[in-house]
A and B are shown apart, each in its own frame.
Chain A
Amino acid sequence: MSFLELKKVTKIYPNGTKAVQTTSLNIEKGEFMVFVGPSGCGKSTLLRMVAGLEDITTGDIELDKKIINKIDPSERDVAMVFQNYALYPHMNVYNNLAYGLKNRGLAKDVIEKKVNAAAKLLQISDYLERRPALLSGGQRQRVAMGRAIVRSPKIFLFDEPLSNLDAKLRIQMRLEIKKLQRKVGVTSIFVTHDQVEAMTLADRLAVINNGIIEQLGTPIEIYNNPTSVFVAGFIGSPQMNFIEGELKNNKFKTQAFEITGIKSDFDGKVILGVRPEHLVQANNGLIKFNVDLVEKLGSDNLVYGEIKDKKDLLCYRTPGNEKINSGSKLALNIQENKLYIFNKKTGKRII
């Protein structure tokens, strides 16, 4: 019996946009679920339906054994952290945290205890008297989190809460959110279009495309076994390399090279996928590669270039201590069992 259950939920906006296609999903108690996908794929819509901020067109949402389709957001006992935080500008931090508790008619001293505890947890005790306008981006972020935590809701909803922060702070807050969620143990759904954020935070990940959950699983499962071109390209950084070609008689063939012994009877146009980190140099390597550009990240080098005779771009990842100059020629092999082949027409994985 799962804690939150989406049963064949769809959403069609009044203007006819089909934002969410038939979606079913179970989330366990205490689980950290991440929705990831490109802009406009319906992540926010799905989240907002759970919150009750959007009507559900068809289907049911069940939270804690109760169908909540018709329940007003104010009575659903969910908390949401918005991208722009949506702090209450005319209230100081204390009242921002206390407001939800006041509305539930808690006694003053109880409220004070809870607010102080949440403030301590988030290290914002020093700013309780300040208005949101006088806080930095990171502090506002914490207040927004505090406002969610202080009510101990049934479920936390996060809609890209980190996207307004600078890169360094984003990583820091990412860690803190994860730690916090572990500590408080509240079931959470986190929406992001950043795949690194998704991978690092999630217990389970739902990759969404065009209003459909393309794949659901733990981050590692999805990284190792993407079921479609879309998921393969979306998860992993830098992106997986895709090379178009043809599969026939267990042989993958493209202009520049061939791979034999592929265990599939498929016959037709396919896409070969290989991650940058799964390429290795070899003297008589399969793929001849002209280096265009080397991005030195310190720990790693990202080597970009073209495959011989063909204009396919390729990215190859090497340890940072390896010296590679642009203009040089390399020969690369694919590590064993690390190649993916997708049906070009359907985008589905073949092997």
Chain B
Amino acid sequence: MTRLFTSSFSHLILFIGIFIMIVPVWLIFASSTHSSLSINTQGLQVYLGDRFVENYIRVLLYKGGFFKEITALKMFFNSFIMATGVAILSVVTSLMAAYALVYYRIKYATLLFWIIFITILVPLELRIFPTYSVMAKLNLVNSYFGLIVPISASAVATLFFRQFYKTVPDELLESAKLDGANTWRFFIDFLVPLSKTMIVAMLIFMFVFGYNQYLWPLLVTSQEQYWTVVMGLKMMSGSIVHRFAFVMMSMIPPILIIVILQRHFIKGVFQDK
């Protein structure tokens, strides 16, 4: 009886939470299918309107920005490149950094690790001008490279992989060595497959991180064809319904990534059992 009560009670709380989170999204979505006129006169809409296709297609293909050079479609493309780049690059570098920290006989490996770790305490915003000036000197402003690389060193991912490697029993390494595995093979044949679940989780995390960047892309791109979705939300001109439609669409890629990758994620978790 108490069990039932507590479980229905916690369900109730969860439902309230979900409700609070969903309602604004729904209001924006419903409103984005009306005409600007009805929004301006009647406020946000609860029910769906009839201009869904029209509004969304216009947003995707409309050339916005100050110079009317970029469409939302191109921004999605840019964002995708940037987020994927950040995800892959940061996961690969952290995997390798953690490998070096744990398995190589590096002097002061722990100290080095803590120095890497401390960078978590330094937010991107704090180093954004020096970083910009480096990028400018290297002539990498207005390039995908400039968008991706400076934010792709992830202390958090390094931390996670390092902690995971530390739990891998030494016998596994020794056994692999006796089986003729060299340093590289041990990494590829053992550590990477064993940390598959974590890699997928980190890919999702870093993809969303890259996708959500606002300040850095704003700073490092002056040409409109490098605009990303999140900064475009602010810069895009257009009427209120079109902005709403753009907001709705901007939520799709992160959700999509989670939906696609979570299957591996769950599979990985179960296989480890």
Majority SS at the chain B contact face? helix
B123 interfacial contact with A, CB 8 Å: no
Binds B, one of A5-13, A74-82, A117-125, A281-289: A74-82
Interface residues of B in 154-196 (CB under 8 A from A): 169, 171-172, 174-182, 185, 189-190, 193-194
A88 interfacial contact with B, CB 8 Å: yes
B181 touches A103 (CB 8 A): yes
Q: Tell me which of A76, A89, A100 contacts B194 (CB under 8 A).
A: A89
Q: Tell me which of B171, B177, B181, B194 contacts A82 (CB under 8 A).
A: B171
Give the docked Cα–Cα distance between A288 and B174 (Å).
56
Give the docked Cα–Cα distance between A78 and B178 (Å).
7
Residues in A with CB closer than 8 Å to B193 are: 90
A74 touches B174 (CB 8 A): no
Give the docked Cα–Cα distance between A174 and B170 (Å).
26
A86 touches B179 (CB 8 A): no
Give the docked Cα–Cα distance between A343 and B174 (Å).
43
A220 interfacial contact with B, CB 8 Å: no
A80 touches B174 (CB 8 A): yes
Q: Which size bracket describes the interface of A in this complex?
A: 20 to 34
Q: Tell me which of B169, B177, B194, B271 contacts A53 (CB under 8 A).
A: B177
B83 to chain A, nearest CB (A): 28
B273 interfacial contact with A, CB 8 Å: yes
A79-104 to B contact mask, C-beta < 8 Å, 1/0: 11010101011100000000110011
Contact (A147, B171) CB under 8 Å given A88-B190, A90-B193: no
A30 interfacial contact with B, CB 8 Å: no
Residues in B with CB closer than 8 Å to A52 are: 177
Give the docked Cα–Cα distance between A52 and B175 (Å).
11
B194 touches A90 (CB 8 A): yes
Give the docked Cα–Cα distance between A80 and B177 (Å).
10
B180 touches A74 (CB 8 A): yes
Give the docked Cα–Cα distance between A76 and B271 (Å).
34
Contact (A99, B179) CB under 8 Å given A53-B174, A73-B174, A86-B171: yes
Contact (A73, B178) CB under 8 Å given A89-B194, A99-B189: yes
Residues in B with CB closer than 8 Å to A86 are: 169, 171-172, 174-175
Interface residues of B in 187-216 (CB under 8 A from A): 189-190, 193-194
Residues in A with CB closer than 8 Å to B194 are: 89-90
Report B's interface with A, CB cutoff 8 A. 169, 171-172, 174-182, 185, 189-190, 193-194, 271-273
Report A's interface with B, CB cutoff 8 A. 51-53, 72-76, 78-80, 82, 84, 86, 88-90, 99-100, 103-104, 131, 133, 147, 151
Closest 4 CB pairs of A and B: A86-B171, A103-B180, A100-B179, A86-B175
